[in-house]
């Protein structure tokens, strides 16, 4: 009964994070033309650090390298994932960029699969992405490359967050990761920012993006991934591109052609079908122990 309740609460929390992240990304889409994506991402991580550090300050003297390196790697992945994703949003639009980026968790879900159905679904998803990127008759190769880089980083984020959540208690891992990401991003932001464009309205939106897209969802992910498997996480995440497309239309005023709308639904449907029909893997001892951590 407790395991079932944990799965339900974890799944509900993951749905909330999908809305939060994509709404924050739509606000970021408004800011990128004004201040640039490095500034947006750096402020995201700064807000994350400010939100987490008062509640937990890592005691580095107690760490071994085996415990520390996944959190350090997670910080690098966070910086790469966010920076490449926002750059791709500026070039492709939120709905298109989010759909391509979703190939990352989809690949994680299918990594060990040998079923014919999964290969069919993977081919359908690839066809959907091809249709999505060619629907309007234009192609931005660099934007697509950025989105694919973000997808690969997202796959690494899922695997590393899972490992960090099972090895480090509470917010210890995500705190270290946010500090690493901040150290990497702040110098770039300081060099690229146009200070003349900064005002209290812009700063307020930057803080809102940090809260919605980093502090709240990434902190919650350590709770979620202790209670649900990467498979269920990926199933719920398969709705993300649709949520992103909706916010892209409502907040950014993006216009998606019918073919693009169809392509997004094909990718999400293929991913959902492939992941939902997989057999649940047995829970390991380390996962049981992680789920018992408050």
The whole model's pTM is what? 0.81
**Would you list the DSSP string of 155-215?**
HHHHHHHHHHHHHS-TTHHHHHHHHHHHHHHHHHHHHH--GGG--HHHHHHHHHHHIIIII
* pLDDT the model gives residue 118: 81
φ, ψ for residue 253, nearest 5 deg? 70, 25
User: Is residue 3 classed exposed, middle or buried when 0-12, 13-18 and 19+ CB atoms within 10 A define those classes?
Assistant: exposed
* Best-predicted range by mean pLDDT (23-32, 58-67, 96-105, 178-187): 23-32
Which residue did the predictor score with more confidence, 6 or 1?
A: 6
- pLDDT tens per residue, range 100-140: 998 888 888 777 677 888 888 888 888 888 888 876 667 78
Rounded Cα distance, 221 and 226, in Å: 8
* pLDDT the model gives residue 289: 34
* pLDDT the model gives residue 230: 65
* pLDDT the model gives residue 282: 46
- pLDDT tens per residue, range 162-191: 787 777 765 677 778 888 898 999 999 999
φ, ψ for residue 209, nearest 5 deg? -60, -40
Residue pair 217/20 in contact by the 8 Å Cβ criterion: yes
Express as a percent the part of the chain with pLDDT over 70.
Answer: 83
Rounded Cα distance, 288 and 166, in Å: 9
Rounded Cα distance, 25 and 59, in Å: 32
User: Is residue 38 classed exposed, middle or buried when 0-12, 13-18 and 19+ CB atoms within 10 A define those classes?
Assistant: buried
């Amino acid at each position: 009964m407790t395991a079932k309740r944990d799965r339900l609460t974890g799944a509900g929390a993951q749905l909330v994070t999908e809305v939060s992240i994509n709404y924050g990304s739509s606000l970021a889409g408004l800011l990128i033309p004004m201040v640039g994506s490095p500034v947006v991402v750096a402020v995201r991580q700064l807000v994350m650090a400010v939100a987490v550090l008062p509640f937990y300050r890592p005691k580095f003297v107690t760490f071994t390298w085996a415990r520390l390196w996944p959190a350090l790697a997670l910080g690098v992945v966070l910086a790469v994932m966010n920076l490449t994703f926002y750059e791709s949003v500026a070039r492709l639009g939120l709905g298109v960029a989010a759909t391509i980026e979703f190939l990352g968790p989809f690949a994680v879900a299918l990594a060990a699969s040998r079923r014919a159905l999964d290969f069919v679904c993977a081919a359908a998803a690839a066809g959907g992405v091809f249709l999505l990127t060619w629907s309007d008759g234009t192609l931005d190769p660099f934007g697509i490359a950025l989105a694919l880089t973000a997808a690969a980083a997202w796959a690494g984020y899922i695997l590393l967050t899972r490992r960090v959540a099972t090895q480090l208690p509470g917010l210890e891992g995500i705190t270290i990761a946010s500090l690493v990401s901040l150290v990497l991003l702040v110098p770039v932001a300081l060099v690229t920012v146009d200070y003349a464009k900064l005002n209290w309205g812009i700063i307020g939106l930057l803080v809102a993006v940090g809260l919605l897209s980093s502090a709240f969802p990434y902190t919650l992910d350590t709770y979620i991934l202790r209670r649900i498997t990467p498979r269920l996480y990926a199933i719920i995440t398969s709705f993300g591109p649709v949520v992103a497309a909706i916010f892209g239309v409502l907040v950014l005023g993006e216009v998606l052609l019918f073919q693009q709308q169809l392509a997004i639904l094909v990718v999400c449907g293929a991913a959902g079908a492939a992941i939902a029909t997989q057999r649940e893997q047995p829970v390991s001892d380390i996962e049981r122990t992680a789920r018992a951590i408050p």
